[in-house]
Chain A
């Protein structure tokens, strides 16, 4: 009962106005590396948001801060109205179940099959086995990986691994999806499939933040694009205007 009530609260907050709020956020690493400095922006619920910049600009660090993989040195980060850095235990776990992340380094379990890797995101929220199997099949179908269902992820190419990571990030139908370089190892046809999947999730109500340096996926869009340079916001504009 208590868990259900907590889940409902998270759900309500996830449907609020701003999905992400960042106010004067900085992140530095010892000895004196300033990865991010005074970052302030917000992402609306249901928005698709692009984060661009060269390698080392701070895109990945920013995504890690949003999903609480790392803590900011300064500043406030709110996700769905929660100060994500003050959340602990069950509250943090419940919020994380609602955030799907496709990591740049994939974070796949190489001794598990493709299906098991995707299922893991749904297992932690105790989805029914039948529903998990069906969802895994659908996602693999959408990403043209049906034949890889029972292969170990260690046996896949980098492009295939990237798609499995993406499938895992959207599997639990999260309200916020963070994607780090989703098309880095893909050809144009597969890139299109990947973007289709993300667009479908976005249309279904998910807020999506995509960190990329692949201009082909945002240059013709009318979505907001934020460029980072040397850990600072260089520009924040709507697409087609850059």
Chain B
């Protein structure tokens, strides 16, 4: 008989002896992983959606007057002084009129009585992709507003602002739920291992007296924690995948979800979640071993 055979048999005995609390812990770990992973999934998808949203982002600076060539150069210099941009284009009043007419299509005749210079001249700025964070855009917009001759800056701020507030709220939810669920899962595993240790005090004492090494006694408890982490996370993630599939099928067709491309976790993230769960449960188990298994 070798070490691992003995240890695995001992782990089996532990699991059999405290199966009811093991089931409770297993369910807690699964549920914790499910809830945390659910919020994380929404969060990562929102971040993805945010990235896609800012792909088409451009700022429009409406000017009070049509700028001359010298003024255009000055403004361009001022803007580029603040930050590099991907694209910067001046739109004259006439060009704005033509665009508007094009947008109106068949209804463009409503503009017949309007002068061709009734729309303001503007500057269209596409910021660099790397500088499209909410705070950076806001800062850039404030700078543009402060430029002389600027009437108004538009970039769909209300929409973006709401979206980023929602993402911020979701970040807090993910962090809070993550912390709480990590604590719950770790505590539950530690508690179950503690129950097992206390329930088998006589046997553990005997094992010590007949010459069992520390690793012979401790390893089964550590394996128990690792198993809880592995099984709990795998089942939690399977449940999440089921939920994801159900939502994807249930909400096909026109609806809010179709505004976003909703993806499941990549295999790498799934492995990371399982490993994190295993580490936490092993840690819970280790703390109980240290505290209650005096060898």
A residues engaging B (CB < 8 A)? 67, 69, 89-90, 93-99, 101, 107, 109, 120-121, 123-129, 132, 168, 172
Contact between A124 and B202, CB atoms less than 8 A apart: no
- B residues touching A (Cβ–Cβ < 8 Å)? 1-3, 6, 202-203, 205-214, 216
Q: Are B1 and A98 in contact (CB under 8 A)?
A: no
Residues of chain A contacted by B209 (CB below 8 angstroms): 67, 69, 96, 101, 107
CB nearest to A93 among chain B residues: B213
Contact residues in B for A168 (Cβ distance below 8 Å): 210
Question: In the complex, what's the smallest C-beta–C-beta distance from B113 to chain A, in angstroms?
Answer: 97
Q: Is the CB of B211 within 8 A of A98?
A: yes
The interface residues of chain B lying within 8 Å CB-to-CB of A127 are 1
**How far is it, in angstroms, between the C-alpha of A125 and the C-alpha of B210 when the chains are bound?**
9
Residue of B nearest to A107 (CB): B206
Task: Report the bound CA distance from A107 to B208 in whole Å.
Answer: 12
Closest to A128 in B: B1
Chain B residues within an 8 Å CB radius of A101: 209
Q: Is the interface of B mostly helix, strand, loop or mixed?
A: helix
With A95-B211, A124-B212 as contacts: A109 and B202 at CB distance below 8 Å: yes
User: Is the CB–CB distance between A121 and B210 below 8 Å?
Assistant: yes
- Are the C-beta atoms of B206 and A120 separated by less than 8 Å? yes
**Pairs across A and B, CB under 8 Å, 11 listed:** A67-B209, A89-B214, A107-B205, A120-B207, A123-B1, A124-B210, A124-B213, A124-B216, A126-B3, A168-B210, A172-B211
Set of chain A residues within 8 Å of B214, measured between Cβ atoms: 89-90, 93
Instruction: Give the shortest distance, in Å, between A46 (CB) and chain B (any CB).
Output: 21
**Contact residues in B for A96 (Cβ distance below 8 Å):** 208-211
Closest to B205 in A: A107
**B216 and chain A: residue at smallest CB distance:** A124
Chain A residue at smallest Cβ distance from B3:
A126
